[in-house]
Structure 1
Amino acid sequence: TLTCQDEVPENATVLWQLKEQGATGGWGQQLAEGNTLLLRRLRYEDSGHYSCSVGSHLLRSLRLLVAEPPETPQVSCYRRSHDKDVLCEWPQQEKPSPGTRAMLWVKRRFVAENATEHRCRYFSKARKFICRVKVPPGTDDTKHLVVSTCVSNSAGGSAGKDKIITLSSVLKPDPPVNVTVKAVEKAPQWLQVNWSYPSSWDPRFYWLRFQVRYRPEPAPTFMEVDQVTTTWLDIRDAWRGTRHVVQVRAKDEFGHGAWSEWSQEAVGTPWTGRREIWGPETGYSVPVEDGTCGVTLPPMLFGEDDSNGAGGEEGFLGVKGRDTQGVCSLALPSAPLPCRYRQTWWTSGQQMTKPEGEGQHMLVPLSLPPPTLSDTPLLSHPVPSAPGMLHMTHTDYSSSGQ
């Protein structure tokens, strides 16, 4: 409430006017009439010179200042790499008043020398003051420095508590970038994570070590992998068929300073290929469990002739689709991995036994035959069985790795 005068002549009309701060020329906008002026919900923009007058006769002039006392700085400093300047900052709960000035001083500890002065700027989006401290080339990273701060405006001033730092202790890299998560073919529990150094860190002179954390999306907590010195990592215990969230952060290779913030989240799902046993003529297929390629198939897949029960040489067994974790693949143009081959014959009313010499079905070679593994044949002749009994051939073999 602004009052013009204690006593005002009767029948006189008092008029209030505002000349805003920085305005030039005559008096500004007219506000209200009366001996008192009530201003509600004051804002910074309400600052200025207020005057009351009767006609052209000036009765009184007042200067009104609207400002918030500055908040006490709580400064923290960091350095994005060994060749970058130091940035010191502190947050603000409220927007500072217009005309607020923030300063920072840096000097070496226990040395009688003048401190270097640095002006700080307020960034409204980040809601913080930020000061840039130049670091001369060749400065010792282990020497202690004293950082002092002060904020002032027309409503008062406030000084922060001194902070003691070293250039190595405030080292904090930017988070890694370009984080990608890819599935690994034939490996349903693997994920390959790749990332890049941040542009603010030059790996030609100093390296970073990394920490990777990941979780399947149903899980609430992360699993972490430490001491990663490369820009890639193979996760080998991922959940099959489940989308995973992955993040990476970085730190100086010698452990100086602090970890960077976590990178942006990247997502990926392990390989979900399906393997099947199939017959070329019937199109009959059976899913195969992971970790094995041993199945029991009806004789029709081996070229069984229903009329005479004789098996032909043209019948074969194939594996279609993708394999997982080094399990065998008989249809690939490379030497087969360890595999279990199982063949079963069922008895019927017309056929009680399998004639001797039949039931041997050679694997059709897909490329040049590999060197002989041993003098022992892969599939031995079956022993004649008695009528009504089940005849089975069960042979294990393994490759030489060639």
Structure 2
Amino acid sequence: MCSCSGSLLSAALLLLAAAPVTGRLCGPAGLPRDTVLGRPGANVTLTCLSREPAADVTVSWQREERGPAAGTGRRQLAEGNSLLLPGLRYEDSGRYLCLGGGRPLRALKLLVEEPPETPRVSCYRRSHDKDVLCEWPLRAKPSPGTRAVLRVKRRFAVENATEQRCRHFSRARKFVCRLPVPTGADDTKPLVVSTCVSNAAGSAAGEDRIITLSSVLKPDPPLNVTVEPLERAPQRLRVNWSYPSSWDPRFYWLRFQVRYRPRPAPTFTEVDQVLSTWLDIRDAWQGTPHVVQVRAQEEFGHGTWSEWSQEVVGTPWIDPKEFTSEVGAFSSQFPTEDGTYRVTLPPELLEEGAADGAVVQASARSMASPYAFLVAGGSLLLGIILFVGIVVRYRQLWQRSQGCSAKPQGEGQHMLVTLAPSSPPLSATSLLPPPGPLAPGALHITNLDYFFSGQ
């Protein structure tokens, strides 16, 4: 019976040791004697004696000053058995003296403090070879003198917890505690992490956290994320990135997740299980900017994902021909009443400094191409030259035929083709056609000897 009850008691103690404790006090809860606590912005009254002094005794108040600007060391305040201090500030903290008849009657210490907030701790580790960082945000600035510590011990162990001092970062408005990890520590053994925040106004403890070194892994976001178009691929984008500087890829790897969306779309498309530091997007919208982000996690899924990287924008490749046609569609021309044309060009084609929607005015003649005039003029000139050459040639032949009535024998003798029956020899045929009207449709060929003589 005793052994059974002892086993039950041991099990109960183990459960109590493992159970998280919320809101327990971790510092002194009481205030020293003759200490008055006041919160910032509140009113407080300091009382010198529990009962009113005699009528012939004048009670006055003084405050001890410290620092280079203290002067004589005390500052005279109001008279009376009670001293009202409205709208307290942190600077009102200090030692107040009550004097009666010139001698001290009582000394009171005023503390203007805000009780600390209950911490809500989260822990993370940026890499396998980094220390664990535990932090919690603050809603308001802590009062001066606030102290925060982190206590860590192995679960179910009877050893005392180690204590680490936490640091307050005013810009980030949070406390950060660093937990050193010894070399060769087991990443799978559970640890109990507890926090304690205290000041003169009180103390507060956060809820205990049970963690392992592998479960709190949280890498930093990937760096140098770029998005580039691929030539002659209007629906593809190449995304590149690099490991965060806090993670050494020589010993441990990361897996990545990429998400992207066209700029008009509200939702992202996600690609998981990316082990390389690049990805080809093959379903991008043509000519549309895309927003891309990348995050990382330990390769075997230990811990949590990193934060998303900053947004990077990229646009797929655009065919220059399509771009030219799109630009041409923006220009237009229209006639005006004075016979000229007004040509409207898009702003990107105007010179720098031109106003939007500027209109360029040009005459109708300037719209005609000069090549048409050059071709027509050249053709006319060539026709004139050929006509003059033919006239000169025929004139020389006519003059030669007047000088001799017949050709010498033995010269220019060729076989002639008879064009009509009973026609005289060609050498006796006159160079000029016989007088008289020509029959309609009749063909008269004269001086055929010229064409067959070779001259």
2:145 to 90, 99, 105: 99
Residue type of the partner of 2:307? E
1:268 and 2:314 aligned: yes
Higher strand share goes to which structure? 1
State the partner residue of 2:47.
3
C-alpha offsets along residues 218-264 of structure 1, whole Å, 9 cap, x if unaligned? 21111111111111111121222222211110000011000001111
1:27 to 45, 64, 73: 73
Question: Is 1:212–1:249's contact at 8 Å kept on the other side of the alignment?
Answer: yes
1:17 to 58, 62, 80: 62
Distance in 2 between residues matched to 1:170 and 1:177, nearest whole Å: 21
Q: Taking structure 1 as reference, are residues 97 and 21 closer, same or farther at Cα in structure 2, changes over 3 Å only?
A: farther
Mean CA deviation greater in 72-81 or 51-60: 51-60
Question: Is 2:66–2:73's contact at 8 Å kept on the other side of the alignment?
Answer: no
Residue type of the partner of 1:255? G
Give the number of equivalent residue pairs: 282
Q: Please give the root-mean-square deviation of Cα atoms over the aligned residues, in Å.
A: 2.8
Question: Is 1:49–1:62's contact at 8 Å kept on the other side of the alignment?
Answer: yes
State the partner residue of 1:203.
249
1:161 and 2:207 aligned: yes
Q: Taking structure 1 as reference, are residues 270 and 28 closer, same or farther at Cα in structure 2, changes over 3 Å only?
A: farther
3-state SS, counterpart of residue 65 of structure 1:
strand
- Structure 1, gaps ≥5 residues long: 279-284, 287-305, 308-402
Distance in 1 between residues matched to 2:92 and 2:208, nearest whole Å: 36
Distance in 1 between residues matched to 2:159 and 2:98, nearest whole Å: 54
Q: Taking structure 1 as reference, are residues 197 and 38 closer, same or farther at Cα in structure 2, changes over 3 Å only?
A: same
Q: Calculate percent identity across the aligned residue pairs.
A: 72
Measure how far apart 1:71 and its partner are. 1.7
State the partner residue of 1:373.
none
Distance in 1 between residues matched to 2:312 and 2:295, nearest whole Å: 13
Measure how far apart 1:142 and its partner are. 0.8
Question: Is 1:182–1:270's contact at 8 Å kept on the other side of the alignment?
Answer: yes
Distance in 1 between residues matched to 2:66 and 2:143, nearest whole Å: 14
Residue type of the partner of 2:73? W
Residue type of the partner of 2:124? Y
Query: Structure 1 length normalisation: TM-score?
Result: 0.64
Residue type of the partner of 1:18? R
State the partner residue of 2:111.
65
Residue type of the partner of 2:216? V
Measure how far apart 1:106 and its partner are. 1.3
Distance in 2 between residues matched to 1:27 and 1:7, nearest whole Å: 28
Distance in 2 between residues matched to 1:178 and 1:11, nearest whole Å: 82
3-state SS, counterpart of residue 166 of structure 2:
strand
Distance in 1 between residues matched to 2:288 and 2:126, nearest whole Å: 36
Distance in 2 between residues matched to 1:16 and 1:174, nearest whole Å: 58
Q: Taking structure 1 as reference, are residues 52 and 111 closer, same or farther at Cα in structure 2, changes over 3 Å only?
A: closer
3-state SS, counterpart of residue 113 of structure 1:
coil
C-alpha offsets along residues 1-20 of structure 1, whole Å, 9 cap, x if unaligned? 22345535669875433225
- Structure 2, gaps ≥5 residues long: 1-44, 330-374, 377-455
3-state SS, counterpart of residue 126 of structure 1:
coil
1:39-54 to structure 2, matched below 5 A, reads 39-53=85-99
State the partner residue of 2:229.
183
State the partner residue of 1:82.
128
Question: Is 2:132–2:178's contact at 8 Å kept on the other side of the alignment?
Answer: yes
C-alpha offsets along residues 46-81 of structure 1, whole Å, 9 cap, x if unaligned? 111122446744344221111122222221111000
C-alpha offsets along residues 22-45 of structure 1, whole Å, 9 cap, x if unaligned? 888853334445554322221222
Residue type of the partner of 2:259? R
Distance in 1 between residues matched to 2:98 and 2:124, nearest whole Å: 53
1:144 to 165, 185, 190: 190
Q: Taking structure 1 as reference, are residues 11 and 235 closer, same or farther at Cα in structure 2, changes over 3 Å only?
A: farther
Q: Taking structure 1 as reference, are residues 3 and 110 closer, same or farther at Cα in structure 2, changes over 3 Å only?
A: closer
Distance in 2 between residues matched to 1:231 and 1:261, nearest whole Å: 17
Question: Is 2:114–2:143's contact at 8 Å kept on the other side of the alignment?
Answer: yes
Mean CA deviation greater in 18-27 or 258-267: 18-27
Residue type of the partner of 1:158? A
Question: Is 1:243–1:270's contact at 8 Å kept on the other side of the alignment?
Answer: yes
Distance in 1 between residues matched to 2:67 and 2:112, nearest whole Å: 15
1:170 to 192, 203, 216: 216
- Larger Rg computed on CA atoms: 2
Question: Is 1:192–1:232's contact at 8 Å kept on the other side of the alignment?
Answer: yes
Distance in 2 between residues matched to 1:20 and 1:132, nearest whole Å: 38
3-state SS, counterpart of residue 184 of structure 2:
coil
1:196-235 to structure 2, matched below 5 A, reads 196-235=242-281
3-state SS, counterpart of residue 127 of structure 2:
coil
